[in-house]
Structure 1
Amino acid sequence: MTGRADVPALPRLGFGAAPIAGLYEAVSEEQARATVEAAWSSGVRLFDTAPHYGLGLSERRLGAALAGRTGYVLSTKVGRLIVPSGRGGRDDQGFDVPADHERVWDFSRDGVRRSLEESLERLGLPAVDIALIHDPDHHMEEALAHAYPALAELRDQGVVKAVGVGMNQWRAPLRFVEETGIDVVMLAGRYTLLDQSGLPLLEACAERGVRVLAAGVFNSGLLATARPSGTFDYAPAPPAVLDRARRVAAICESYEVPLPQAAMAFPLRHPAVATIVLGARAPEEVRANAALWDRPVPEDLWSELEAEGLL
């Protein structure tokens, strides 16, 4: 089944709002708002969030920062309900926020509808453009049998304009592409300069008219600077991966193309990829990425990477 023809036009550059919800380290209200403002001023018009990010904090902050604005595309996600916990302390799932709530997996029809209703309340919006089934890795049958039909109903009712799935792997999203009528896939980290394992999914999306939002294009940090260092997929980079990244960076430097610029440009070379989504926690990160965004990448760079067996 193919995606629907009335999916909103997707901008080429998107903003990922997990970091402004305290991903790894707390972010102040003022910094979060300034970061969204910097994205808007840089021309970003697609914004992605989720209940999971900061136990709803990302949605609240993003909704407040976008209040009164028009002409943008907004995506959020379903699959985790945010419920009071009463246990105190700090969140233990990567966000530096109070653990006064907790996440409960729920891909049922009622759970999906409740999740979206609560997201709209946090966002302060009557509707969103895109709703994504979030990380159903261990809940695939329920997500296929119940979460997708629930979102399809909401799409038919106009509560959302497009539906899809967002994951850090490619095999499960491929099932959604082949077995449902989703419009969009968000694929994180599996079609980058260092990892093109998601290519079979992208080929299927191109064949069926399903559009891809490419997230995690820096592979959690290794490709975020001109000199590769740090983490790959949220863990210390293995020596072989770090060596490969440094070889890619050296070739990029020979063409006077910073590694992050090439990392942003690469996914968009595939016809299925409509948008890259870049997370940011501070205005200077947004502006640094925006400064590289419109610079052309010589075609010979890609040819040399391929000739060296790096793509």
Structure 2
Amino acid sequence: MREAGPGRDAPLAVRAVRGLRLTELGLGAAQLGNLYRNTSDAEAEATIDAAWEAGIRVFDTAPHYGLGLSERRLGAGLRERPRDHYVLSTKVGRLLEPSPERAHLQDDEGFVVPAAARRVRDYSRDGVLRSIEDSLARLGTDRIDIVYLHDPDEPEMFAQASSEGIGALIELREQGVVRAVGAGMNAAEPLAELIRRADVDLVMCAGRHSLLDHAATDELLPLAHDRGVGIVAAGVYNSGLLSRPRPDADARYDYLPAPQELLARTNRIADLCEEHGVTLPDAATQFPLANPAVVCAVVGVRGVDQVASLLTRYRTPIPDALWAALADAGLIPPSSPAKGSR
């Protein structure tokens, strides 16, 4: 088997699912909504430009990201691009209701923006339709390619999202308003249940199919592959734990302080990566793409340097011997990614 990784100068590979063609890497635009720190309009524009020049043609956003700021910036950055040459996704489930009385405060969900709107969880048919209408206006476009139900994690939310919400999205797909529908969640089990219940095209699995977390391996990935449903892997660095050659002692996992046992496991993976001449982020970037069910890895980046770093990680050849060593050590499932190639 050849070494994984397409080579240092190779263009981004493209994968197809349900009539869509997606580059293996996608730009996650949460950072464009001022996630954790302020990002200037100029830096946001430069990020989109750099991603486009690198060949990235999948762009993912959501109303949640910066209370609409990410959608507005992404729409502005893509406005002059040929519309048929990229895949645009956003999400429904968090309506933005104006709250001008709180505009002097900062948003309390991780985004450095004024709290001039509040998020209202709504997975009803009317909520879905309104959310898409609002997103189209913020994005400044006449169509969205993929729409995901966003984080219907609680049982009562999932009950409505997996019936009324997904039904509304399927209706819009049949009308040609959107091209593909699905859900994005932080847990693998409800995504698998949604695939069993509804005719979805893609699901976005955040953090549960990564070099460190294999919760999607036994059920979600094979089910999606058998049903022809594409998996979009997000959170591939597990809240930053896998984003550096060695994790910091105060690294976070699922946005909370990482347990010592998880830090030790990450360092064991890093040891083997170094022995095989690659870095932990190189392996973390490529691991999700080794599974045939995965059609794209969406990664959040901010700035030209981070785009360049992402492409380097994607293109670095990784020896099959590393995957074998990780499997032998019980650090990844035995079957992945022994295929070794993409």
TM-score w.r.t. length of structure 1: 0.97
Distance 1:147 1:214, change over 3 A: same
Q: How does 1:251-262 map to 2 (within 5 A)?
A: 251-262=272-283
Pairs within 5 Å for 1:56-205: 56-70=68-82, 71-86=85-100, 87-88=102-103, 89-138=105-154, 139-199=157-217, 200-205=219-224
Deviations 1:35-61 (CA, angstroms, capped at 9, x unpaired): 111111111110000000000000000
Give deviations 1:263-286, integer Å, cap 9, x for gaps: 011111111111101101222111
- In structure 2, what residue type is equivalent to 1:7? G
Q: 1:33 aligns with which of 35, 40, 45?
A: 45
The 8 Å contact of residues 7 and 183 in structure 1, kept in 2 or not, is answered as: no
Matching residue within 199, 218, 224 for 2:237: 218
C-alpha displacement of 1:291: 1.7
Say whether 1:238 aligns with 2:259. Answer: yes
CA drift at 1:181:
0.2
Q: Is the 2:152–2:158 contact (alpha carbons within 8 Å) kept by the matching residues of 1?
A: yes
Tell me, which stretches of 5 or more residues in structure 1 are unaligned? none
Does 2:206 match 1:206? no
1:233 positional shift:
1.4
Residue 247 of structure 1 deviates from its aligned partner by 0.6
* Identical-pair percentage: 50
Residues 165-204 of structure 1 deviation map (CA, whole Å, 9 limit, x = unaligned)? 0001111111110000000000000011110011111111
Q: Provide the rounded CA distance (Å) in 2 between the counterparts of 1:243 and 1:43.
A: 36
> Cα–Cα, structure 1 residues 190 and 74, in superposed 2: closer, same or farther, change >3 Å?
same
One-letter amino acid matched to 1:145: S
* Distance (whole Å) between structure 1 residues aligned to residue 19 and residue 69 of structure 2: 27
Task: Specify whether residues 119 and 162 from structure 1 end up closer, same or farther in structure 2 by C-alpha distance, changes over 3 A only.
Answer: same
Deviation track 1:122-169 (CA, whole Å, cap 9, x = no partner) reads: 000100110000011120111122111100011011111000000011
How far apart are the structure 2 equivalents of 1:119 and 1:5? Answer: 24
Q: Does 1:277 align with 2:298?
A: yes
- Return the offset for 1:292: 2.1
Instruction: Please give the alpha-carbon distance, in whole angstroms, between the structure 1 residues aligned to 2:75 and 2:207.
Output: 26
Separation in 1, partners of 2:282, 2:309: 10
Aligned twin of 2:66 = 54
Q: Distance in 2 between matches of 1:291 and 1:69?
A: 24
TM-score, normalised with respect to structure 2: 0.88
Opposite residue 285 of structure 1, the aligned amino acid is Q
Secondary structure of the corresponding residue to residue 220 of structure 1: coil
What is residue 22 of structure 2 aligned with on the other side? 10
Deviates more, 1:198-207 or 1:112-121: 198-207
Given the alignment, which residue of 282, 300, 319 partners 1:298? 319
Q: 1:244 to 1:77 in 2, by over 3 A?
A: same
Q: Shift of residue 7 of structure 1?
A: 3.1
For residues 293 and 220 of structure 1, what CA distance do their matches in structure 2 show? 18
| CA distance in 1: counterparts of 2:317 and 2:159, whole angstroms | 43
AA partner of residue 290 (structure 1):
L
Amino acid corresponding to residue 164 of structure 2 in structure 1:
H
Deviates more, 1:80-89 or 1:125-134: 80-89
Number of aligned residue pairs = 308
The residue identity in structure 1 corresponding to 2:79 is A
Distance in 2 between the 1:238 and 1:225 partners?
17
Give the Cα–Cα distance (whole angstroms) in 2 for the partners of residues 215 and 261 of structure 1: 15
Paired AA for residue 203 in structure 2? V
Instruction: Report whether the alignment pairs 1:308 with 2:329.
Output: yes
